[in-house]
Chain A
Amino acid sequence: MHHSANGMAVTGWLMAGEWRAHPVRLGLAVLAIAVGVALGFAVHLVNSAALASFGRAVASVQGRADVAVRARSAAGLDEALYPRLAQLPEVQAISPVVEVPASWGRLARPGSEAKGGRFTLIGVDPLRAMAVTPGLVGISVAGQGGVGSRPNWQADAVWLSPALMRAAGVAPGQDFIITAAGRQARLRIAGRLAGADEAQLAVIDIAEAQWRFGQLGRLHRIDLKLVDGDAAWAVVAAALPADAMLATPEAEATRADALSRAYRVNLGMLALVALLTGGFLVWSAQALAVARRRPQFALLGVLGLPRAGLVRQLLAEGLVLGVAGAALGVALGYGLAVLVVDRFGGDLGGGYFSGARARLAFDTGAALLFGALGLVTALAGSLGPALNAARAAPAQALKGLGDVPDPARRPRAWPGLVMLGLGALAALGPPLWGLPLLGYAAMALLLAGGVALMPALARLLLAPLARKGSAFLPLDLAVRRLWGVPQAAGLALSGIVASTALMVAMAVMVASFRQSVDDWLVAVLPSDLYLHLEGAEAGGLPPADQARLAAVPGLAHVRFQRVLPVRIDPARPAVALMAQGGQASVPIMASTDAATPPGTARALISEPLAWLYGWQVGEVHSLVIGGVPRRLFVAGVWRDYARQWGAIIVPLADYRGFTGDATATEASFDLAPGADPAAVQTALQAALPQAVEGQAQFGRPGEMRRVALTIFDRSFAVTYALEAIAIIIGLIGVATSFSAQVLARLREFGMLRHVGVGRRAILTMLGLEGAGLGLIGALAGLSLGLVMALVLVRVVNPQSFHWTMDLALPGPLLGGLVAALVLCAGGTAVVAGRRALGGRALLAVRADW
């Protein structure tokens, strides 16, 4: 056996020779790996940047306490809890906190000119906070109302985070008007918060917060430092009333992670799909190259290269491809991430991390991981062809006798069928770790099975044509070739099938989702005009203001609604409690006619809530409303795409009875016949109290639908981009495999020309072969894609986002896709043939190989 140094020389010579002869193919294979690695790495970088900044923002608002007692709902906790907890020996230090969503300026819909923003208003007792959450204590600016560097707690003093100062364009010493809980207050900026850079955050004295923003007697959080040990934790937990729960920074981080986890995992999977497609491309390029170079390898075998050496040779080629692709991919991925964060922000348009500014950092570990994935993909793509080449008998292959495709041999169908069956089984599996991992495994298996089935399928579909024959020679030759060499056809098809299937699956999923969202919007927006108070979780319009609105002329009917966040599980984002007057206008998916059991309130739960908490129609569950656990009878499940973390509708009268909170945060108005919507809206606006003017948003169904679908399309922009990349990779695959096959068949063309088949007829034959392959590939890809779309729609989406959707087929898009693929495959084949036939075919009959 040759020594390793000489082995390297042989490997290097052969590699350099091959790539010098086929630089374009080398470039495309490297590019295919690079694109997959780049997408995966970029998605990871952008996600972790966004999540890190979101986590920093959460930590800032928390002020880094050991543990916090949190109110389950925005209504807060009775402040009597504070002295009770303070007396516990397990509590070392304690700081009560009022925390209300607030806004400055005039809040507006995306795209509007109005300037304003949301932030969290926190009220603390500075001396208490110093001991528990020093990050929430402001630094006064000397000479601007402060006393040295000590906090200056005048009644109207407010401390802003640097991020909020930047966003609002204000500086210490200036006035700052805050709207929260339906009230407004003008405060003076006393300084900045040292410990909170990222968060949109303002801190005032706790008593001021309670008095100025209608929270007298209420607290939202009590930050604690405990003595060490789990026992302390248990003692505190036991002392809590029903409307309070213990939350650790870990639980908060889990919640932040949960908020966008499914979205991030889905994007990551899409990127891996692109990498997988790249792997297919490498495999198909390597397999074709091995087929073409078989006599060369045979010669090396005769001259003394052992089989293991040949496998090493091909794996080394794969390794170099992989390393080049991975390095290029990591560089491209970093560039892409920088561009994306700059253009779209950290949430890629998904809307998950509003208010947090993403800071991108190069992650060496992730770069190595994604690089390694690219490398493994390239090696895996090379391994099969390498083993195949090593199995060939050199003497036979050298004479061109070995591995001559035998049309009498039927391609095997069972490996493909087994993989399809396993894929179908995996699709039935449950989510793992809350993620649709088996769903993705099902898609990968279906894809691999479909591709593996291609030779058998090509044979099956072409059998009738091959039996019948055709008087048109190019067509006859094309059909017989495709029928007789289904393995070669399968190779060329794998790229088309893989990319078509992925494209179709994505397109159908997105179309189904969009159609379902549109139908849902029509169902949930039956009124003529809507009012929404932005950032009013802590309190909305009082009854007097509601009555003034209801009295505006031109209204036939008004329904008020109170929406507030409620925590069921500290590690999960809050669910929306929606107290609605009148008949709920939501699309019901399941319901019961059973009478409401005594002592319960009738509730409708959203589909995500049913998924996440396992509540079912007809069951009775407990929910803390107004500080007391209330029994809710689940009368129905409704479809909801707006609140991924769940929502519960209870009758407004019940809610008011439970809580005594008679405010409203939303209203829907049905106009009297003949009333002018614009005039009514103007009159309603005039009837609103001044304090909530900046928070009030009016909307009409048509416009709201348009805005919602625009946001939908924007959040799927990345998906569309990934889809386009899958198409391009697929078409590159078609182009490379055709040009490789045409090169490998030069001798055949030379023979055909010698026996009198014209150049034009050969090109026609190639075009027909290409179009035929394209058609088979597109149809197979279409069928496979539809099955994969079903998995996406019925398995992956419900398991990720906890909502279902109706299947909708984008007919024109799919038809166009099939036509484009057929044309592209035929065109590529002709172009490759034209290049290859430039005189070389005639020489090829007597050429060496």
Chain B
Amino acid sequence: MRPDLSSAPPAVAAPILAATGLARAVPLAGGGRRTLFAGVDLAVRPGEVVAIVGESGVGKSTLLNVVAGLDAADAGQVLIGGQDIAALAEPARAALRASALGFVFQAFHVLPHLTLARNVALPCLLAGMNAADALARAEAMLAQVGLDGRGADWPAVLSGGELQRVAIARALVNRPGLVLADEPTGNLDPETAARILDLLLSEARERRAAVLIVTHSDMVAGAADRVLRLSASGLVPA
């Protein structure tokens, strides 16, 4: 049975993310396919924080990739800001990611050969902003995540927590409508993890960005507006 979308908190805004009937299976080594998930419906509205939990291997990250247009669903539809992502050509999907989505990963994925400011400015450039404006906005964003004046530093001198701050700054610098976070605190100690989560959510809420987090962490799930559990049969409230 499908979860009732009307169980979501009442909100006036239209969902930034609306997924319906998503299904995904993976090929098995010995032939045949294993269903990761099927019949997934999901709506996330601006400013809302939704956590997805579930066992390892159930397809949480794959669901995130499908939502981002990085992986194709076998069935179903994903609308980002009303646009069907599967209907877009690859360059247009890439452009949509650059302008409308932000990403935070477990591994921080900060490019080691670029300064912090250039790392953060990348999404702005990819969305079409000129380099000077992008760098100015990146410096401002770094200041907001507690790395004021560090734009010229190289990633090699940063701690894990600081690297994740850079990643959050990069995810939010383009003022995306939706931030996709895959185990954003998985590589951090509990204290740092709490601070980073607080930073991510407060910065996102301030910008009315929705956040979709995949996590194993109770702490992270506890901070979300809604928690959904993914299983082979679909997405249900946890």
Interface residues of A (CB under 8 A from B): 1-3, 5-7, 9-10, 13-14, 16-18, 20-21, 295-296, 299-309, 393-395, 398-399, 846, 848-849
Q: Check if A2 sits within 8 Å of B97, measured CB to CB.
A: no
CB distance from A98 to the nearest CB of B (A): 77
20 further A-B contacts with Cβ under 8 Å, apart from A1-B95, A14-B111, A306-B91, are A1-B91, A5-B130, A6-B129, A9-B134, A10-B125, A13-B118, A14-B114, A16-B113, A21-B112, A299-B111, A302-B68, A302-B70, A304-B95, A307-B94, A394-B70, A395-B68, A395-B71, A398-B109, A846-B187, A848-B155
The answer to the question of B103 belonging to the interface, with a C-beta cut-off of 8 Å to chain A, is yes
The answer to the question of B43 belonging to the interface, with a C-beta cut-off of 8 Å to chain A, is no
**Chain B 78-100: CB-based contact to A (< 8 A → 1; otherwise 0):** 00000000000011101111110
**Which chain B residue has the least Cβ–Cβ distance from A2?**
B126
* In the bound complex, CA of A399 to CA of B105 (Å): 9
CB distance from B120 to the nearest CB of A (A): 11
Q: Check if A17 sits within 8 Å of B113, measured CB to CB.
A: yes
Contact of A6 among B90, B109, B130 (CB under 8 A): B130
Residues in A with CB closer than 8 Å to B194 are none
Contact of A295 among B61, B90, B109, B128 (CB under 8 A): B109
Within 9-32 of B, Cβ neighbours of A (below 8 Å) are at: none
* In the bound complex, CA of A2 to CA of B92 (Å): 10
Can you list 8 A-B pairs with a CB-CB distance of less than 8 A? A6-B134, A14-B113, A304-B95, A304-B127, A395-B71, A398-B109, A848-B108, A848-B109
Known: A3-B128, A303-B123, A304-B97. A18 touches B109 (CB 8 A): no
Known: A6-B125, A9-B125, A10-B125. A304 touches B99 (CB 8 A): yes
Chain B, interface residues (CB within 8 Å), range: 35 or more
Q: Check if A302 sits within 8 Å of B126, measured CB to CB.
A: no
Residues in B with CB closer than 8 Å to A305 are 94, 98, 126
CB distance from A317 to the nearest CB of B (A): 13
Specify the main secondary structure of chain A where it touches its partner: helix
Q: Check if A1 sits within 8 Å of B71, measured CB to CB.
A: no
The answer to the question of B163 belonging to the interface, with a C-beta cut-off of 8 Å to chain A, is yes
Q: Check if A308 sits within 8 Å of B70, measured CB to CB.
A: no
The answer to the question of B236 belonging to the interface, with a C-beta cut-off of 8 Å to chain A, is no
Q: Check if B94 sits within 8 Å of A304, measured CB to CB.
A: yes
Q: Check if B94 sits within 8 Å of A10, measured CB to CB.
A: no
CB distance from A187 to the nearest CB of B (A): 78
Known: A10-B125, A395-B70. A303 touches B98 (CB 8 A): yes
* In the bound complex, CA of A629 to CA of B107 (Å): 90
Q: Check if A299 sits within 8 Å of B125, measured CB to CB.
A: no
Q: Check if A303 sits within 8 Å of B126, measured CB to CB.
A: yes
Instruction: List the 9 closest A-B pairs by CB distance, nearest first.
Output: A304-B98, A17-B113, A306-B94, A9-B131, A306-B91, A304-B126, A395-B70, A395-B65, A304-B97
**Which chain B residue has the least Cβ–Cβ distance from A304?**
B98
The answer to the question of B147 belonging to the interface, with a C-beta cut-off of 8 Å to chain A, is no
Contact of B128 among A2, A307, A846 (CB under 8 A): A2
Residues in A with CB closer than 8 Å to B127 are 2, 304
Residues in B with CB closer than 8 Å to A304 are 94-99, 123, 126-127
Residues in A with CB closer than 8 Å to B98 are 2, 303-305
The answer to the question of B223 belonging to the interface, with a C-beta cut-off of 8 Å to chain A, is no
Q: Check if A296 sits within 8 Å of B111, measured CB to CB.
A: yes
CB distance from A405 to the nearest CB of B (A): 16
* In the bound complex, CA of A662 to CA of B13 (Å): 116
Specify the main secondary structure of chain B where it touches its partner: helix
The answer to the question of B230 belonging to the interface, with a C-beta cut-off of 8 Å to chain A, is no
* In the bound complex, CA of A3 to CA of B124 (Å): 11
Q: Check if A13 sits within 8 Å of B108, measured CB to CB.
A: no
Interface residues of B (CB under 8 A from A): 61, 65, 68, 70-71, 90-92, 94-99, 103, 105, 107-114, 118, 122-123, 125-131, 134, 155, 163, 170, 187
Q: Check if A300 sits within 8 Å of B109, measured CB to CB.
A: no
**Which chain B residue has the least Cβ–Cβ distance from A295?**
B109
Residues in A with CB closer than 8 Å to B118 are 13, 17
Q: Check if A301 sits within 8 Å of B94, measured CB to CB.
A: yes
Residues in B with CB closer than 8 Å to A21 are 112-113
Residues in A with CB closer than 8 Å to B70 are 301-302, 393-395
* In the bound complex, CA of A398 to CA of B109 (Å): 8
CB distance from B80 to the nearest CB of A (A): 13
CB distance from A290 to the nearest CB of B (A): 15
Q: Check if B122 sits within 8 Å of A303, measured CB to CB.
A: yes
Residues in B with CB closer than 8 Å to A302 are 68, 70, 97, 103
* In the bound complex, CA of A303 to CA of B118 (Å): 13
**Which chain A residue has the least Cβ–Cβ distance from B68?**
A302
Q: Check if A308 sits within 8 Å of B91, measured CB to CB.
A: yes
* In the bound complex, CA of A15 to CA of B109 (Å): 18
* In the bound complex, CA of A17 to CA of B122 (Å): 13
Q: Check if B111 sits within 8 Å of A1, measured CB to CB.
A: no
**Which chain B residue has the least Cβ–Cβ distance from A298?**
B109
* In the bound complex, CA of A300 to CA of B122 (Å): 8
CB distance from A847 to the nearest CB of B (A): 9
Q: Check if A303 sits within 8 Å of B97, measured CB to CB.
A: yes
**Which chain B residue has the least Cβ–Cβ distance from A18?**
B113
* In the bound complex, CA of A93 to CA of B114 (Å): 79
CB distance from B136 to the nearest CB of A (A): 13
* In the bound complex, CA of A20 to CA of B105 (Å): 26
Contact of B95 among A295, A306, A848 (CB under 8 A): A306
Known: A300-B122, A304-B97. A848 touches B110 (CB 8 A): yes
* In the bound complex, CA of A395 to CA of B107 (Å): 13
* In the bound complex, CA of A10 to CA of B71 (Å): 25
Residues in B with CB closer than 8 Å to A1 are 91-92, 94-95
Q: Check if B97 sits within 8 Å of A848, measured CB to CB.
A: no
**Which chain A residue has the least Cβ–Cβ distance from B97?**
A304
**Which chain B residue has the least Cβ–Cβ distance from A7?**
B125
* In the bound complex, CA of A9 to CA of B121 (Å): 11
Residues in B with CB closer than 8 Å to A308 are 91
Known: A6-B130, A21-B112. A303 touches B103 (CB 8 A): yes
* In the bound complex, CA of A789 to CA of B91 (Å): 49
* In the bound complex, CA of A848 to CA of B97 (Å): 22
Q: Check if A17 sits within 8 Å of B111, measured CB to CB.
A: yes
Known: A2-B127, A398-B105. A20 touches B94 (CB 8 A): no
Residues in A with CB closer than 8 Å to B99 are 304
Residues in B with CB closer than 8 Å to A849 are 109, 112
Residues in A with CB closer than 8 Å to B109 are 295, 299, 398, 848-849
* In the bound complex, CA of A20 to CA of B96 (Å): 31
**Which chain A residue has the least Cβ–Cβ distance from B135?**
A9
CB distance from A403 to the nearest CB of B (A): 15
Q: Check if B97 sits within 8 Å of A6, measured CB to CB.
A: no
**Which chain A residue has the least Cβ–Cβ distance from B129?**
A6
Residues in B with CB closer than 8 Å to A399 are 61
Q: Which of A5, A6, A17 has the most CB of B within 10 A?
A: A6
